[in-house]
Amino acid sequence: MALARRSRERGVDYWPGFVDALSTLILGIVFLLSVFVIVQFFLSQEVTGKDTALARLNAQLAQLTEMLSLEKVGKANLEDTLASLRANLALAESERDRLKGVNEGLASGGSKASELAGQLDTQKNLTSRAMAQVELLNQQIAALRRQLAALESALEASESKDKESQAKLSDLGQRLNLALAQRVQELSRFRSEFFGRLRAILGDRPDIRVVGDRFVFQSEVFFDPGSAVVQPGGRAELDKLAAALVELDRQIPKDIAWVLRVDGHTDVRPIASSQFPSNWELSAARAISVVQYLISKGISPQRLVAAGFGEFQPLDAANTDEAYRRNRRIELKLTER
């Protein structure tokens, strides 16, 4: 006995070293989580800034479109006015040529000069007034052409600015789509981690399996036949699920709108009772019971959705006991709201 006591006194105490190593590991995990939260915060800020810039560019684009329509209307009016002035100018020039012909005829016919002298003076006055009017019209036409040139320059500038705005909008749209795709990828990653953790917690059981992006529980895990009350064995499984959800909620960034959808399904055989007139009521009541139990374990109601599908989404269309058993199920799906 004295030898055994001396052996225990000489034993090495590993406990302080183990505590130090565990503390260092916890500090490293806390540091990594802090870095992840900071990165998510800056990503959220960048997406918010992109939304604001996109709204501002849309407002500028609407203003430019309105200015462009007004300029097009003004250009059309000016073109109508210019056409009218050109028609008047053609008439004035025709009248001028006619008067010149009359004047030349008068000059060649000396015998008629005395008779037509008065008419010539009148025509000269008319010609002078017509020439003055033509000069005025020429000035107005020149002014209109200058206005048209200015409007065309403004129109080209507006079109150039519009193209630039469209390019910016396209770039912002692509960047926003990329940000949304990254969010979807993040949720997919968390879904995979959640299902992996849930599979490890629940173990390999034939009545619990993964089908696609859903975790499928046979109804017998939680409920007795024809009942929507969670039995004690089912509560134990839901406790494991609730613990995994609480841990998942701490990891997923708050700006990702995720929900756990709980779907209730029955087999094709009808049920008719005072409590459940149809399979719709039974499947919905079972989904609601699971959701209510998870809420009682601390899961936020905003993260849960209950849905009843009755017998209308079977996994196996056969009319056998095995098919009926497979179709009676509760499905869990982690998705976006």
Of 203, 183, 152, give the one whose Cα is nearest residue 254.
183
Residue 186 in any domain: the answer is no
155 shares a domain with 106 = yes
Position 283 in a domain: yes
The torsion angles phi and psi of 329, rounded to 5 degrees, stand at -155, 165
Looking at the domain assignment, is residue 8 inside a domain? Answer: no
Q: Collect all residues with Cβ–Cβ distance below 8 Å to 112 and sequence separation of at least 6.
A: 106
Instruction: List Cα–Cα distances, 291 to 220, 259, 303, in angstroms.
Output: 17, 12, 10
Answer yes or no: is 58 within a domain: yes
In a domain? residue 115: yes
Q: Are residues 172 and 38 in the same domain?
A: yes
Which residues on neighbouring strands pair with residue 330, listed in sequence order? Answer: 217, 264
Q: What range does the domain containing 50 cover?
A: 33-181
The reply to whether 211 and 141 lie within a common domain is no
Of 166, 181, 196, which residue is a domain's last? Answer: 181
Whether 211 and 173 share a structural domain:
no
Q: Which of 291, 298, 210, 201 is nearest to 249 (CA)?
A: 298
For residues 137 and 77, membership in a common domain is answered with yes
**β-pair partners for 260:** 304, 334
Residue 107 and residue 169 in one domain: yes
Please give the chain's pLDDT, 337 residues, in tens. Answer: 454 455 455 556 777 777 888 888 888 888 888 887 887 777 777 667 666 766 776 777 677 677 767 767 767 776 777 677 677 767 767 777 776 676 666 556 555 556 656 666 676 676 777 677 777 777 877 787 787 777 777 777 777 777 776 766 666 666 666 555 555 555 566 656 666 665 665 556 666 787 777 889 999 999 999 999 999 999 999 999 898 888 888 888 787 788 999 999 999 999 988 899 999 999 999 999 999 999 999 999 999 999 999 999 999 999 999 999 999 999 999 888 8
Indicate the residue among 148, 181, 214 that finishes a domain: 181
Dihedrals φ, ψ of 217, to 5°?
-110, 135
CATH number at residue 72: 1.10.287.1490
Query: What does the pLDDT read at residue 219?
Result: 95
Q: Is 166 found in the same domain as 43?
A: yes
Domain CATH number, residue 246: 3.30.1330.60
Residue 167 confidence (pLDDT) = 67
Task: In whole angstroms, give the CA distance from residue 169 to residue 174.
Answer: 9
- For 165, phi then psi, to 5°, come to -65, -40
Does the residue 17 lie in any domain?
no
Residue 300 and residue 164 share a domain: no
Please give the backbone phi and psi of residue 225, each rounded to the nearest 5 degrees, phi first. Answer: -55, 130
The confidence score (pLDDT) of residue 260 equals 92
| CA 191/CA 248 separation, integer angstroms | 9
The reply to whether 174 and 295 lie within a common domain is no
155 and 234, same domain (yes or no): no
Listed residue (74, 58, 130, 70) closest to 99, CA to CA: 130
Strands 304-308 and 208-211: unpaired
Domain total for the chain?
2
